[in-house]
Structure formats: C-alpha cells, structure tokens
Amino acid sequence: MPQYTPPMRDMQFVMHELLNVVDELKMLPAHADIDADTINAVLEEGGKFAAEVIAPINLSGDAEGCTLDQATHAVTTPKGFKEAYKQYVEAGWAALSCDTEYGGQGLPLLVNQFFYEMLNSANQAWTMYPGLSHGAYEALHAHGTPEQKATYLPKLTSGEWTGTMCLTEPHCGTDLGLLRTKAEPQADGTYKITGAKIFISAGEHDMAENIIHLVLARLPDAPAGSKGISLFVVPKFNVNADGSLGSRNGIFCAGLEHKMGIHGNATAQIVLEGATGTLVGQPNKGLAAMFVMMNAARLGVGNQSLGLTEVAYQNAVSYAKDRIQMRALSGPKAPDKPADPIIVHPDVRKMLLTARAFAEGGRMLQGYTVLQLDKALKSDDEDERKDCEAEVALLTPIIKAFITDNGWLATSHCLQVYGGHGFIHEWGMEQFVRDARINMIYEGTNTIQSLDLLGRKVLANNGATLKKFGKKIAAFIEEEGVNEAMQEFVNPLADLGDKVNKLTQEIGMKAFGNPDEVGAAAVDYLRVVGHMTFAYFFAQAAKIALAKKDSGDPFYTAKLATARFYFAKLLPETASLIRSCRAGLAPLMEMDEALF
C-alpha cells in the first residue's frame, strides 16, 4: 500500500521564505493577527489528518467504489469514507477559511489551499466531497440572497451539508449555452426545475445529511445561448423555516458513472422532476454567478494534480532506493548487493526529478496565486484588489492546465519507475495515474483553459495583464543580473520572457487575419507561459538556496539541485513548443475532413 508524508518543510519554505506570507497577510485587516506559528500548527495537524485518516482508505476506496440502490436512489460510499468525513467535520476542518459571520475560522485561503494539497495527496476521491462544498459556499457567499446565506452558509461552513455544481447535461459539456434544464416560476417565489444532469461529482452520497446543488437552468422567457442561463440552489431535502430538514426534494441520482479513476467519488447522473429551487443572483445572469464556483474549482483541480504528483513522487523514490536491478554503467554502487538500487540509473533519476520539479514548481505557483486571491478578497486598497483579481484570472487557467498536464506526466513517470509492479493495484501507482487523468478534463478541458488564457486573458486586453506580471519577472532579472551565481537561472528566464513577448505579438497579428490561429496555438502557448511562471519561481527559490547552501541544511542543497535540473532538463521544452506555435493553423486544417 502506498504511503504519504506531508511535505511540511517545502510548504514552509514556500510560505515563509519564498512568499513571506505572514508579512503579506498582515497588511490585510482580516488577517492582521496571523503568525507563522499558527499557520504551521494548523497545517501540521491537517497533515496528520490526511496521512493517518484518509490516506489509509484511498486504495480500498478505489477498489470498492460507490454503490447505488436503484429503488431508493441512495448512494453508499466506500468503507471508512463516512466515518472519516465525520472526523473532518468534528475537527472543524470544513470551516478553516470560511467567513466568521457564518461560523468559519476566517483563516486565509492560502492555508486552506495547502491543507487541501495534502488531502488530495492522501485521497483525491474522498477530498472531492468536501472540496466541492467550498465552491458552493463561495458562489452563495458572493451572489446569494440574505435568506439563502442564512439558510445554507452556516451548514456548508460546518460541513454538516455538502454542495455540488450541476452544470453538465448529456448533450452539452463545456458549451453550457446548449443546456435545456427548465425552471418554472411559482407563485411563492420559488421555481420548479426539471431536467437531467450528468457527471455530477459527489452528486449523491451518505456522508452528510443534506446536499446543496447549484443548478444551471433556463427560465421560460430566457434568451437563447449562454445569455439565457440562470442559477438556482436546489437542496436534496427542502429546508423548513426553522432550519430543520423538511420533505425530500424532486432531485435524485438515477445512475453512477463507471469511470477510469476516482472510483471512491460518486459521479452521478442527476434527474430533476419539478424540484424546488430558489434563484441565485439575477435572472439570465447565472453563468457569471457560477463562474465564482468554477474558478474556485479550477484552482482546486490544479491542486488535485499537485497532490497526486507529490504522493506519486514520494512512493517512487522509496521504491527506487529499495529495488535492485542491474549495475550502474560506471561500475557497482552497491558492491555488497547482487545489483544496484535503480535510483543510481540516470533515466530513473530523470523521471524522479521531473516529478519532484513539477511538484515543487506547482506548489510555488499555487501558493503565490492563492496569496493574490487573499489580497483580492481582503485588501482595503481598491487598486490592489483589482490588480490581484486580474493576476489571479491570468494564472488560474495556467494552474488548471499546466499543473494537471504535469501531474499526468509525473504520475506516469513514477509508475514507470516501478516497472511491472506499477501496473499492480496494491502498489497504488496505477490508481494515481488513473485519478490524475480526469483532472485534465473536468472543470473545463485543458484546451478550454488554453483558449481562455490566450484569447480572453492575454489578447483581449492586448496583453496588459501578462505584461504586468512580466514586469515582476523583469524586475527580478534586473536585480539579479549582476549576481554571477544567478546567471544560470536569470539568463534563461530573461530569454524566455523576450520570446513570450514576441510570440504573443505574433499570434495576435495572425489572429486579426483568422481567429482560428488562436485555437491552433493556444495549448502550446499555455505550456510556454506555464514554464515561464515555473522558471520565475524556481529562480527565486535558487536565490534563497544559494544564500543558505552552506548552512548545513541539506534542504537547500536539494532545492538548488532541483532548480538546476528544471532549467537544464525541463525548461528547454519551450523551444519546441514555440516552434509548434509558430507553425500556425495551416498544418492542422489543410487535410480535407473526408480524409480523416
């Protein structure tokens, strides 16, 4: 069975040495009293919960899966899931970063994000149940009526109730403008909602007494397309005026998807038959309200793959140190044994270091972005809020797509380290690969994220937000340009920054002639920009490690080695990606459809 050790040392490095989060957070009135000891203590306890409570039921939960009683529409989660969730609620983990007005602890989102990385490493399928509730909480907190907030937010905050996002329908995935679910207004101000949804993660289960579904539907007079979508809150059990649970609502699970991975999470086919719901936000403006939840989910999905990358790396390293196979080409490294441990072989080290670099790079990018999100939500400086909101919007598709692409590569590499044993269930590696694959698809496929980055976040404002982020990189390059020890990091970063600027302008000019040029370049472009962000953070990490490499702490030696590996072996991928971007649309479109 795979093991998991929370990477507390690296988390603390990212928070306190790279990002100086305490100083940053103290500038926000809501977090003026925060200190490093509190953050560290919370995450250390969170790590224990992840490693000791939910990690042990990950492998068994994958093998058992969820079961549906067709007669009652009730779903039973795998053995131990319900009990672990009870511990989670009783310990107050659900309330970690929620508003104190609704019973939350009011801690920064950054703390919650690092906690959730550990939960995802330990058991992604289990973590999706409480994870989706955070998105529902955020959407209602931002757009709910006072009555909706009073009814639902305290229970979502405590974790007594969970939440879902009901978007996808059998005939439409990302293109939500095609959805058909109908909402009929009633005399009492509620709506009767009828339709069918699919792929609803955590859509039905036995872990909480009520499930709060956020459902997209159309009003009778709604305009066609995405401009005619409204958002409704539809509870599994109707809620009485005194807050107690009332009658069973007309929303139920008709089936469970038989999936490649995340077997422990109930991916439900949901049917609504005159279910009672209330409108969230304005009529026909539901997509804007739902994007609060969707953007939270996209950051969360990036965090899922970060967690899987970390746990796969840890187990692959342990295996590589123990497994003996052949001799090193340069001669025996373990002469007292019949063969050398496979960690001596260069390509095994390349696979391990790739996973390590993707984990450490993803952790730095996630930490930075969620710190900006905390500022966007809590700063009393309007200009700072706007700047941080724009930067979070820019980085969110990169987190979702780049980190999940990397997670797929990393878990595949770690499975490869195990050889044939990687295919065997009890080692756990094949589950990490299967679980990682969905992260590239849901919450908007990675192609959608790439189109969002290049089309909406970069070209739509002539690259203004990207240029602002680029100025931070340029300032760092200028500051470290005279430092001889930093040249191996600064020079490639500066070179890539120049190439990104030129590539962006080139694609923009092509797009004026044919918008399909954006579609042709977008996926490669996102990966180039993703590497630019990783290179920026690895260069900063290298600066810290260089200053402390003689401290006697091997952590800094390892950090420096990982940074050097990243710049030498992974960053060069950008050269081929840029060349592919520049190849443009023609190679993709010149073949007649009939020849496919």
Q: What is the pLDDT of residue 178?
A: 81
530-539 pLDDT tens trace: 999 999 999 9
Q: Which residues, 6 or more positions from 581, have their beta carbon under 8 angstroms from its beta carbon?
A: 503, 507, 521, 524, 525, 528
- Please tell me the predicted confidence (pLDDT) of residue 171: 81
Report the range of poorest mean pLDDT among 3-7, 41-45, 157-161, 225-229.
225-229
Count Cα neighbours of 293 within 13 Å in the Cβ-side half-sphere: 28
Q: Which residues are catalytically annotated?
A: 443
Banded model confidence at residue 135, pLDDT cuts 50, 70, 90 = confident
**What is the identity of the amino acid at 475?**
A
Q: What is the mean pLDDT of the chain?
A: 96
Tell me the sheet residues that pair with 245. Answer: 239
Higher pLDDT, 437 or 175: 437
Output DSSP code: residue 145: -
CB 135 within 8 A of CB 297: yes
Q: What is the pLDDT of residues 11-29, one digit of tens each?
A: 999 999 999 999 999 999 9
- Report percent pLDDT > 90 for the chain: 94
Looking at 1.10.10.2120, 3.40.718.10, 1.20.120.80, 1.10.540.10, the CATH number of the domain 8-143 comes to: 1.10.540.10
Question: What percent of the chain has a predicted confidence (pLDDT) above 70?
Answer: 100
Rounded-to-integer distance, Cα 313 and Cα 362, Å? 13
Query: CA–CA separation, 306 vs 399, rounded Å?
Result: 10
Helices (runs of H) and strands (runs of E) counted in the chain: 18, 11
CA pair distance 568, 577, nearest whole angstrom: 16
**DSSP 8-state class, residue 285:** B
CATH architecture of the region 163-284: Beta Barrel (2.40)
Annotated domain spans of the chain: 8-143, 163-284, 449-589
**Residue 522 predicted with pLDDT over 80:** yes
So what's the pLDDT on residue 287?
Answer: 83
Q: Which helix (H) or strand (E) holds 376?
A: helix 346-378
Q: Which residues contact 262 (CB under 8 A, 6 or more apart)?
A: 124, 125, 128, 201, 434, 435, 438
Q: Indicate if the pLDDT at residue 124 is higher than 80.
A: yes
Q: What is the pLDDT of residue 288?
A: 81
pLDDT of residue 295: 85
Task: Identify the pLDDT of residue 175.
Answer: 73
pLDDT at 376: 95
Q: What is the pLDDT of residues 445-459, one digit of tens each?
A: 999 999 999 999 999
Neighbours of 70 (CB within 10 A): 9
Which pLDDT band, with edges at 50, 70 and 90, does 296 fall under? confident
Output the pLDDT for position 507.
98
Q: Count of CB atoms within 10 A of residue 122's CB?
A: 26
